[in-house]
Structures are given as C-alpha cells and as structure tokens.
C-alpha cells in the first residue's frame, strides 16, 4: 500500500503523521525546514512553537481549550504526550519547555518504524500519483504551494494579512442597551432587516473612547510584519483614530440609518455594530474593529462601549500575515478539498487558530485518513465535543467568506471556545433548591457542556473502534 504523504511537520502535520503510523499505515512526512525557512520558525525541529510556550488552560471542566487537551489525550496524541513530559510551571495553564517539547516530537516521529521524514519543500501541487495527501503547512505556507492550492481552489486569495476583529459571546452583551437592526433596516439578500447588534455612544462616551484608543498600548510588530502593507479596508481602528478624531464616526462607527430601540428620540453620536459570526448565533464580531492594541488594552477599552461593559471575548483582535482556506466553502466535512478530494487539509491553514487547535485538526485529518484506508465510513466527532465543535466551525458552522452581508473575509481563524458548542440545558438550582446565579451560573453551564462533551466523546470513540494508543 502507498504511504500517506503529510506535508508540513508543524503541530498539525506531526500529530496527523503519528495517528496514521500508530494505526499501522506508512507515512512520508515532508518538512521544508531547514532547507527553506519561514518568517517565524527559528529551528529545524518538528512541532516548533513559533511564539508563546503555552498550550493555555488545562482545565477540562471549565475551559474549552482544557477540554480539547482532554480529548487529544484520549486519542493518544503525540503532541499532548510530549507536552505533558516537558511541562513547566504555569498555574492552571499547560506551558512547556519549547525545545524539549519539539525535540521529543521530532525524536518520536524519527524513531517510528512506519514514518520517513523528508526535508524538502513541496513547491506546487503534490504529484498526481500521491493518492492520499494531508497538507498541514500552516499560516506561513511557502508561496509556491499556496499559489498552487489557490489555483486549484478557484478562490481569489489564500494569503491574507490577517486583520482580526474581536469576537464577543452574544450572551455577554447587555440587550437593555444594544438592539438589533440593520442599517436603514435593509433586508438585503438573505437578511431580515435586524441582522446587526448596535451599541450606541453619546458624544462624551465617544470622546472618551477615542482618548482611550489613542493612549492604548499597541502590540510590537515583528520586523517582517512591519514591512507588510495593510490590505485596503483593513486599517486598525487606532490608526484610523490617529488620522482624526472624527474618522471613526464617519467609518465603522457611523450612526446613520440606525434608531435606538430603547430610546427612539435620542440620536446616537456613534454606533458600534456587531455581526453574527457563527450559524448558532452565539458569537458576534465587532464590525471594522481590527486592531493591534495589546490584548489587555483591548478588553479594557472595548468594555467602555455601552452594552459591552461585561463583554466576554471569544477572541481579541490582531494583525499578522496568515494563509488559510475559505474552508466552509472549499472543504468537505472530513477536511478534503472538494475540488481534489485526495488532498486533505489540517492545522491552521483550515481556519482554526492555536497550537492545540492545530494539533486537534491534524489528529482528525489523520484519523479520517485511517478510516478511509480501512475502507470504513468516515465518522466525525459529534459537535457537542470540543473537536467536533471546532471541525463544525471550519467545515460548515461558520458563515463562509462569501456570505454574511456579502462581506469578504468574514471567515477568520478561530480558537476553540464555548461559543462554538450547541447550547446545553444547565441546572438552574443547586442541591439545596437555591437558584444558581452570577458566576456560579456560568460555571454550572460550562460544567454541563464539558460533561456532555466527555460522555459524547467516549461514545464516539467506541463507535469508531478507537482504542486510545499510548504515545511513548
Ligand atoms: C507569528 C505567529 C505567532 C503565533 N503565536 C501563537 C501562539 O503564541 N500561541 C498559539 O497557540 N498559536 C500561535 N500562532 C498560531 C498557530 O497556532 C501556530 O502558527 C501553529 O503552529 C499552527 O500549526 P500548524 O501545524 O498549522 O502550522 P505550523 O506549526 O506553522 O507548521 C507548518 C509547517 O509546514 C512547513 N511548511 C510550510 N510550507 C511548506 C512546504 N511547501 N513544504 C514543506 N513544508 C512546508 C513549515 O516549515 C512548518 O514546519 C502563531 C502564528 C504565527 C504566524
């Protein structure tokens, strides 16, 4: 039997190769470093962490990232096994010694009897006689490959200077202040006339907001990022504000065509609009609010906006170069390119974001390939699990770039978060019959979600006959 070709030995490619080899199939892993570098990687190690050394929260009861750690461990993940043995103290987070981690992954793959590692760039579409291919080349995919994939997919663009606007959990928006309305009540194609959430600011609030934006700390750009021009229409809001105090009021914060449903007689001086970001309607993005403010500054400044005082952010804004597919449109439910199903994609190039999310999508791509090789039906994990919710977001749950008020670029890489999960019935009273309120209510809801996820994950594992394999 032909080996599976995995292109890219990062977080996703390493995990995919491991899962396939552990299931008894041969793999050739093609990694271009050190022959060719990316703008961010520093070493030739596999699964190199390009920035922080944190895998974020390891709490599988109250945190969606912790839950995905748990699910990966259940599947015998190499990435998690190497993270666990290279852990460094970081409170409730799982942080690792980055060199030790990368060395452990590299060694495990290099020593595996069914894995061959080729150090070479795949500088175009994989040869046509490679029957099973996983492309896991990440946000910094080499231009020759991304251009070939672009041509095959029929899209206009694949590499973006990623302008990410913050995304807010819908249930943290104060609907006594915000209201639903599309500008000029336009129904538009596929709309209702009430498609946006609107947050009003009076003159004093607007002036205070601009002062805070101008004083806010911005993230340091890497040299290679500083030389990359912004896309048209993707200027960070603090850059717009620095061009004139009124610029935002005539741009993303313009109040025209909107009437405050709570105070119809009071005309807002400026309005922040939020647009639905996922099919479930649990997440909303702040329209036109791409920013390079530091994360702490963003949360403080955006909570000055009436209606967002208690906003919980599913992700904060940011800007960096990024290569990713318009996956909801281009990929099928098992991550295959519809235009060429022998190509499966994994990792951040599919539109997930983060080390563990990339490893998870790599793990799924590996397992789906194994199911295919075994001649079995492909069974994705249920959407109530962290991996299933993330997969659902990438392959269909998210509004694709071509939908959503016709705004290109609406599909953006996303960390796993509870907003991607279907709602759950959480207990409303404690054991004594007392009503659960405030933080306890939120904790009860998260616990109900993670308990449901864990039970459904076990069912899925037994359905696919997957016995957790120990990663040495
Ligand atoms: C600058 C930057 C900082 C980031 N910081 C963080 C962070 O702090 N925390 C976090 O959780 N996430 C971070 N991310 C996001 C993301 O989770 C990581 O980039 C993650 O490593 C993605 O995993 P991946 O496997 O998809 O890609 P990668 O880990 O980047 O792996 C892709 C691999 O493919 C190789 N490759 C590329 N093109 C080819 C080719 N044509 N042929 C052969 N090999 C090729 C590359 O050399 C690389 O080894 C960051 C991303 C960037 C760009």
ipTM of the assembly? Answer: 0.99
Predicted pLDDT at 389: 96
Give the residue, by CA position, lying nearest to ligand 1 atom 6.
51
Find tokens 């040495």 and name the residue: 472
Is residue 445 a part of any domain in this protein?
Answer: no
Binding residues for FAD are: 8-13
Give the residue, by CA position, lying nearest to ligand 1 atom 16.
354
Q: Classify 179 as helix, strand or coil.
A: strand
Out of 262, 290, 317, a domain closes at: 317
Is residue 438 a part of any domain in this protein?
Answer: no
Number of domains in the chain: 2
**Is there a single domain that holds both residue 10 and residue 141?**
yes
Residue 85 pLDDT more than 90? Answer: yes
CATH of the domain at 117: 3.50.50.60
CA atoms within 13 Å, Cβ hemisphere of 344? 26
Predicted pLDDT at 407: 43
**Is there a single domain that holds both residue 211 and residue 250?**
yes
Centre of ligand 1 to C-alpha 245, Å, is 38
Centre of ligand 1 to C-alpha 462, Å, is 32
Burial readout 81-105 (b: 16 or more C-beta within 10 A, e: otherwise) = bbbbebbeeeeebbbbebeebbbbb
Out of 317, 339, 368, a domain closes at: 317
**Is there a single domain that holds both residue 113 and residue 215?**
no
Q: What is the pLDDT of residues 395-411, one digit of tens each?
A: 986 655 455 443 434 67
Residue 376's domain comprises 4-158+324-424+452-463
Q: What is the pLDDT of residues 183-211, one digit of tens each?
A: 898 876 566 888 889 999 999 999 999 99
Q: What is the pLDDT of residues 231-288, one digit of tens each?
A: 445 578 998 899 999 999 999 999 999 999 999 999 999 999 998 877 788 888 898 8
pTM above 0.95, yes or no: no
Is residue 306 a part of any domain in this protein?
Answer: yes
Q: Classify 255 as helix, strand or coil.
A: coil
User: Whole-angstrom Cα distance, residue 181 to residue 258?
Assistant: 7
Sorted by sequence, the CB contacts under 8 Å of residue 227 that are 6+ apart come out as none
**Is there a single domain that holds both residue 61 and residue 188?**
no
CA atoms within 13 Å, Cβ hemisphere of 168? 28
Nearest-atom number in ligand 1 for the CA of 8 is 34
**Is there a single domain that holds both residue 386 and residue 313?**
no
Is residue 366 a part of any domain in this protein?
Answer: yes
CB 252 within 8 A of CB 285: no
DSSP class per residue in 318-386 = EEEEEE---HHHHB-TTSEETTEEEEEE-GGGGTB-SHHHHHHHHHHHHHHHHHHHTT----PPPTTSH
315 lines ligand 1 (CB under 6 A): no
Out of 317, 344, 370, a domain closes at: 317
**Is there a single domain that holds both residue 200 and residue 312?**
yes
**Is there a single domain that holds both residue 207 and residue 331?**
no
Centre of ligand 1 to C-alpha 50, Å, is 7
Ligand 1, pocket-test mutation among 93, 139, 360, most atoms within 8 A of CB: 139
**Is there a single domain that holds both residue 301 and residue 182?**
yes
Centre of ligand 1 to C-alpha 191, Å, is 36
Is residue 470 a part of any domain in this protein?
Answer: no
**Is there a single domain that holds both residue 189 and residue 205?**
yes
Binding residues are: 8-13
**Is there a single domain that holds both residue 131 and residue 261?**
no
41 lines ligand 1 (CB under 6 A): yes
């Amino acid at each position: 039997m032909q080996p599976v070709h995995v292109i890219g030995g990062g977080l996703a490619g390493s995990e995919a190769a491991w899962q396939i080899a552990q299931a008894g199939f041969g793999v050739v892993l093609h990694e271009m470093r050190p022959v060719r570098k990316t703008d961010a990687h520093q070493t030739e190690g596999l699964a190199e962490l390009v920035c922080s050394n944190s895998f974020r929260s390891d709490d599988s009861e109250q945190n969606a990232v912790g839950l995905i750690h748990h699910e990966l461990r259940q599947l015998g993940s190499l990435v998690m096994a190497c993270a666990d043995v290279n852990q460094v103290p970081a409170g409730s987070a799982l942080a690792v010694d980055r060199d030790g981690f990368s060395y452990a992954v590299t060694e495990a793959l290099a020593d595996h009897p069914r894995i061959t590692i080729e150090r070479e760039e795949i500088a175009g579409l994989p040869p046509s006689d490679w029957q099973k291919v996983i492309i896991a080349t990440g946000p910094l995919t080499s231009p020759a490959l991304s251009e070939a994939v672009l041509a095959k997919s029929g899209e206009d663009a694949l590499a973006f200077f990623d302008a990410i606007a913050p995304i807010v959990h819908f249930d943290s928006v104060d609907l006594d202040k915000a209201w639903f309305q599309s500008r000029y009540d336009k129904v538009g194609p596929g709309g209702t006339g009430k498609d946006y959430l609107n947050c009003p600011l009076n003159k004093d609030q607007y002036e205070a907001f601009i002062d805070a934006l101008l004083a806010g700390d911005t993230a340091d750009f890497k040299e290679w990022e500083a030389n990359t021009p912004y896309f048209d229409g993707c200027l960070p809001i603090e850059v717009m504000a620095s061009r004139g105090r009124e610029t935002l009021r005539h741009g993303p914060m313009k109040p025209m065509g909107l009437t405050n449903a709570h105070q119809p007689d009071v005309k807002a001086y400026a309005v922040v609009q939020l647009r639905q970001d996922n099919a479930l309607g649990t997440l909303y993005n702040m329209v036109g609010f791409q920013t390079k403010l530091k994360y702490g500054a963003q949360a403080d400044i955006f909570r000055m906006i009436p209606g967002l005082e208690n906003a919980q952010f599913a992700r904060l804004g940011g800007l960096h170069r990024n290569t990713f597919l318009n996956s909801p449109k281009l990929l099928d439910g098992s991550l295959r390119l519809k235009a060429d199903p022998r190509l499966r994609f994994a990792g951040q190039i599919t539109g997930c974001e983060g080390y563990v999310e990339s490893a998870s999508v790599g793990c799924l791509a590996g397992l789906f390939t194994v199911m295919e090789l075994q001649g079995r039906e492909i069974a994705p994990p249920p959407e109530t699990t962290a991996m299933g919710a993330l997969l659902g977001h990438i392959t269909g749950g998210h509004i694709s770039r071509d939908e959503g008020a016709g705004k290109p670029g609406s599909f953006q890489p996303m960390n796993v978060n509870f907003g991607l999960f279907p709602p759950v019935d959480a207990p409303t009273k404690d054991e004594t019959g007392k009503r659960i309120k405030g933080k306890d209510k939120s904790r009860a809801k998260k616990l109900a979600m993670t308990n449901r996820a864990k039970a459904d994950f076990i069912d899925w594992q037994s359905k696919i006959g997957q016995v957790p394999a120990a990663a040495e």
